[in-house]
Amino acid sequence: MEMENAISFKEAKACPIQFVLAVNDTLNVISGKWKLPIIGSLLFEKRRFTDIQRNIPKITPRMLSKELKDLEVNGMVKRTVYDTTPITVEYELSESGKLLSDVLDKMLEWGMQHREATIGKN
């Protein structure tokens, strides 16, 4: 999808249902305490379970397992098992997952301007 043809949120006024759903999809995929750290951890390279765990010091294996499962079910992450001993499981972002960095960039941009705009305005 190109810039020039991108649908804007404001244009969605007329037929909002599917647009609202799409925005909500995106939000759901990145919502929660650990989703961004996990996605961030996979943004530059594929990683294994324990590797991600080491990369995100405070996450418990329970949460990591649960969130990775969520991300996999939502088509964000691909899980590959290698029959080595001990077993090796590799996680990597899907194409969609990689494209999410465009959204994160916009969030970064907005977040920084918002910090600027809000400094000392309490």
**What residues line the site for a second copy (CB under 8 A)?**
1, 6-10, 12-13, 16, 19-27, 29-31, 36, 40, 43-44, 74-75, 94-96, 99-115, 117-118, 121
Q: Is 89 exposed, middle or buried (0-12, 13-18, 19+ CB in 10 A)?
A: middle
Considering Cα of 117, then 118, then 120, then 122, what sign does the dihedral take?
A: positive
Q: What residues between 21 and 60 interact with DNA by CB under 7 A?
A: 32-34, 48-51, 58-60
Indicate which of DNA, a second copy, none lies near residue 105 (CB less than 5 to 8 Å, by partner kind): a second copy
Of 76, 83, 50, whose CA–CA distance to 64 is shortest? 50
Tell me which DSSP letter residue 3 carries: G
Which amino acid, residue 17? I
13 forms part of the interface with DNA (CB under 7 A): no
Interface with DNA (CB under 7 A), residue total 22
In whole angstroms, the minimum distance from the beta carbon of 45 to a second copy comes to: 11
The reply on whether position 65 binds DNA by CB under 7 A is yes
